[in-house]
Structure 1
Amino acid sequence: MSAEILTILMFVTLMATIALGHPLAITLAGVATLFGLIDNGGNISALFQMFINNAWGIEQNYVLVAIPLFIFMAQILDRSKVSEGLFDALYIVLGGMRGGLGMAVIVVSTVFAATTGIIGASVVAMGLMAGPALLKRGYDRGLASGIICSSGTLGILIPPSIMLVVYGGLTGLKETSVGNLFAGAILPGILLSSLYLGYVAVRCAINPQLGPPIPEEDRTATLKQKVMMTVKSFVPPFGLILTVMGTILAGVATPTEAAALGCIGAMVLALFNRKLNFEVLKLACEATLRTTAMIMLLFIGGKMFSVVFLSMGGGDVVADMLLGMDVSPYVVLAIMMMVVFIMGMFIDWAAILLVVVPIFTPIAGDLGFNPLWFAMLVCVNLQTSFLTPPFGYALFYFKGVAPPEYTMGDIYRGIMPFVVIQVIGLCLLVGFPEIITWLPSLFFGG
């Protein structure tokens, strides 16, 4: 059977099994086993030896130790209620503006994203805090849903991000090391956050009924009190961000070592907030174990899939098809981004990375694209996977904790403008690569 036919059949089978609702890691491993046996003539021993070698290589990757450490840090922070103090302060500072409470949610989510790296924690925390508050203050339910879901997804992009650690572990390239990816993601994350803020400000200025300001009786704080509240609430999370990101960008610590420092910093913050006890540590460890096991199982299943796909010539088939097109390299880039976007509507981000990175990264290199720039485009694109129906995880995270007044119709309606904003942000990154490459070149050279 030709490589072209096997490539088509492998992807069709993968999509069909995913649609049937089987666990993703098992699906990837099962499809890989089936087509690996077809490709090598049924040699079970040789196929399993290849799987064992590649799985062992993943488990030996030192960079991936940062995954459970960042997850543990996020779990501790989620239970230490650091974000609540910041939200309360910004509620007073920005609440008097049209759309001010919504903008406060975006700012808090941006800061929280820089301390967690996991969107589930961000969306759930903001859903519990801001969902009822926005509803109480008369915000349009669609706009409120879009604000919470979209800003909560910044946690998967703004470092320390688990997705960036996974990407860096997959490529093994110097240009896409975790340190470079962390530095490259800072300005794109700020760009998206700024676009969200601008959208909310403009929409509410045009139609104040969408996001009315808080009543006069709630605006009793003086300017000095507002400044003190803001500074006091910003210092703890900023100190943690400085501990993690500062040590990486300064070259003092590796991402794995910085993640360990972040865990210590998170426990210190929890201690100051009187939230650090045996029960919190137990729950954080259990959640870390479950999440890490899920990610590593996906890693192994995805690695099995990509190894079989590449060994049977699937990567060459895709490369020849894309590189053989008589079009601009940016048209090929647009096709690859569209593939990632569509896959994000149905598949988990980790599985998408494990499938497309080994295939698309060499193609991007052949087209002359900067590997770091291309990597960040993929990651920004994947952020939309948490928002796009039918399987946008952020939508269901929010629905699970939101008041019953928020319907799935409200949520779907509310996130659509923010998906468009993210696409606009992606286009800006394509047009202005320096947004991605400037900070890595500043800190790490090259």
Structure 2
Amino acid sequence: MSGIGLWLNIGMMAALCTFIMVGLPVMFILTGCAMVFGGLGIAFGVFDHFLLGALAQRIFGTMTSETLIAIPLFVFMGMMLERSRIAPDLLEAMGRLFGKMNGGLAISVTVVGALLGASAGVVGATVVTMGLIALPAMMRHRYDPAFATGSICAAGTLGQIIPPATVMVVLGEVLASAYQQAQLSQGLFSIQTISVGDLYAGAMIPSLVLTALYMIYQAVLCWWKPSIGPAVPPDEAGNVSLATLVEVLVAPIVLLVAILGSTLAGIATPTESAAVGAIGALLLAGLRAGKGSPAPIHLANAAALLLVVLRSFFDLRLGRQEAPLADQLALVAAAVLTLVLAWGILVSLSRTFRDGILGPTSHATMSVTAMIFGTLIGATLFSLVFRGLGGDDVVRSVLEAMPGGKYGALFLVMLIVFLLGFPLDFTEIVIIVVPITGPVLMQMGIDPIWFGVLLALNLQTSFLTPPLGPTLFYIQGVLPPGVTSQDVYRGIIPFVMIQIIALALVVLFPLSATWLPSVLL
């Protein structure tokens, strides 16, 4: 590549990093840098402007991607669950269940954080919600402020790694494209693919191990030093009935099992699973909203379950000229069940609208989805110009020159991702970094699923690390009197060390991320 092209590439990356640190919106930074440096490349004769002709086709492909349709569905599910007041009930029930043991409230926060993270996947919302609800209770029962805030911050970030998470959908789509490009660059035309389901399966074991490590640390520390997390007195803790546990736990767990199970079993695509999650969250919110009878919601849930059973035993395809009598009767039953399900959905929509839940949820879903897709479009233009200026050769030369071969290159990329985790969101980092570095790493022999899980764990660690971890700023906005920022920074350090241990385990044992996908998918 020419010297001018090299300097334009360097200037492009320098401008990107500079404006990111200034705090400008990433979608505008990506688009602006691409336009300015693409124009300079055309002026100096080092960039072929005909490459921009591929931009419209790439954007159209992104906007019509069936996998990416799952993003607004998952965002809607998370927002609806967040506004349906599930978190307070979960925290109260778990607090009563574990509160009588040392560190019980902290363990409760971790369990609820894992459930909310898996269902909502919105780190900021989860941390703030648990900070508002759990932190005052922990302070009231004389918990160490550092231990309490550290537990809440760590639990709140579990949504980055526990599937199904919205960021996994974006990561899966970008990784699949990078993996395809890597194989084409190697002259392979019998291309293997990876899917969002592969990433879900790959992240399952590491996420469960990480959650277990959190809980073991909390239990052992409070057993060793009870004053850090004293048990709640029995007269204050009260008892939690089996019926209450079933009420607060069964619905979220069944919803998550339906989403993950259908994806991992190959019954449904991630987009179809996301639709199941969105409808399930809507029905759950409708059950908890308003003062009407729960019968329509229960009947809708039963209808959905019976539809799945019917589909398992009968062929419900429409338009067949000759269908057996049993299939025809099953089709009639399926039509009736569909009407019952539609009735339950309409009732839920009406109730959530009257309670002021549906409007804000839809607005937040639209805003988050627009941000993600706007960033994807900006990153597409940025990547096109960066490659047109010869950026691929620069990245490949730098990574191949790293000592340690592919592992040295992987370490450099992970270090860059870790540092970017301070000013940027997960989605923005994935969209920027993976298309540039992913194809090179995969050409060097890095497994794409392993790489994706390492990325998720690494960014989760970055989100927690002082002094710039975003999670630390989220919780500082809801600190009660007597709890300081120093407590937050002091309390998060042990959990950062646990994160590093979990990351090291996945590095040392790649099968922890690659074994389950190979078995299930």
**TM-score, normalised on structure 2?**
0.80
Per mean C-alpha deviation after superposition, the further-off stretch among 263-272 and 203-212 is 203-212
- Equivalence for 1:210: 228
Unaligned runs of 5+ in 2: 180-191, 291-350
Aligned to 1:88, what secondary structure does the other structure show?
Answer: helix
Q: Is the 8 A contact 1:188 1:436 kept in 2?
A: yes
Match of 1:296 among 360, 366, 373: 373
Deviations 1:110-133 (A, max 9, x none): 112221122233212211211111
2:200 is matched by which residue type in structure 1?
Answer: F
Per-residue Cα deviation, 1:208-254 (whole angstroms, up to 9, x for no partner): 22111112322443xxx555543443211111112211111121111
Alignment partner of 2:109 out of 101, 105, 110: 105
1:246-325 alignment to 2 at 5 Å?
246-274=261-289, 276-278=351-353, 279-325=356-402
Q: Quick one: which amino acid aligns to residue 188 of structure 1? A: P
Matches within 5 A, 1:71-110: 71-110=75-114
Secondary structure at the counterpart of residue 270 of structure 1? helix
Give the Å deviation of 1:392.
2.8
Secondary structure in 1 matching 2:397: helix
1:343-358 → structure 2 map (5 Å cutoff): 343-358=420-435
> Match for 2:124: what amino acid?
G
Between 1:292-301 and 1:326-335, the stretch displaced more is 326-335
Q: Which amino acid aligns with 2:484?
A: T
* 1:117-266 paired onto structure 2 within 5 Å: 117-172=121-176, 173=179, 175-221=193-239, 227-266=242-281
Q: CA deviation at 1:385?
A: 3.2
> 8 Å contact 1:36–1:47 — kept in the other structure?
no
Q: Provide the rounded CA distance (Å) in 1 between the counterparts of 2:66 and 2:203.
A: 21
1:341 aligns with 2:343: no
What per-residue deviation string (whole Å, max 9, x for no partner) do you get for residues 41-65 of structure 1?
A: 2789757544433322321212111
Q: What is aligned with 1:8?
A: 10
TM-score normalised by L of structure 1:
0.93
Residue correspondences, number: 441
Cα separation, 2, equivalents of 1:134 and 1:33: 52
1:37 paired to 2:39: yes
Cα shift at 1:384: 2.3
The one-letter code matched in structure 2 to 1:264 is I
Q: CA deviation at 1:190?
A: 1.0
Aligned to 2:29: 27
How much has 1:10 moved relative to structure 2?
A: 1.8
Write the distance in 1 (CA, Å) between the matches of 2:440 and 2:53.
Answer: 28
Instruction: Label 1:325 to 1:396 Cα distance change in 2 as closer, same or farther (>3 A).
Output: closer
For 1:282 and 1:325, how far apart are their aligned partners in 2? 51
% of aligned pairs identical? 41
Q: What is the CA-CA distance between 1:325 and the residue it aligns to? A: 3.5
Q: Give the corresponding residue for 2:299.
A: none
> Matched residues in 1 for 2:12 and 2:288: separation?
52
CA RMSD of superposed structures (Å): 2.1
Aligned residue type for 1:117: G
1:314–1:392 Cα change, 3 Å: same
What is the rounded CA distance, in whole Å, between the counterparts of 1:202 and 1:328 in structure 2?
A: 40
CA distance in 2 between counterparts of 1:334 and 1:120 reads 28
Partner SS for 2:427: helix
Secondary structure (helix, strand or coil) at the match of 2:477 reads helix
Q: What secondary structure does 2:357 align onto?
A: helix
C-alpha distance in 2 between matches for 1:37 and 1:53:
20
Distance in 2 (alpha carbons) for counterparts of 1:311 and 1:36? 8
